Amino acid sequence: MDRVRSRVVVEGRVQGVYFRESTRRTAEELEVSGWVRNLPEGSVEAVFEGPQRAVAQAVAWARSGPPSAVVTTLTETAEEPEGLAGFEVRFR
């Protein structure tokens, strides 16, 4: 199985709308590892690691996020997988 890793930074109305918890749930449903956290300037950063198709689905989900979110920009960067296990919400 080929593992890939993508780091995304999502901008818009993405804090205070359950973006992190919704990201965690979505990642777990897709069996993607990684983490998500709020950034001080108001954006959200997430790392998705796992099978290419599942990571692509997680990134696609993040382009709109949960129903209350308004995503204006998503920046994606490919990285080398680190072998992460599980998905966590980080607090900074």
- Please report, for the chain, the start and end positions of each structural domain, with discontinuous segments joined by +: 3-90
Q: What angle do CA 19, 23, 24 make, to 5 degrees?
A: 120
Spans of the chain, pLDDT less than 70: 1
Q: What is the pTM of this model?
A: 0.95
Residues identified as active-site: 20, 38
Query: Architecture of domain 3-90 in CATH?
Result: 2-Layer Sandwich (3.30)
Residue 46's pLDDT is 98
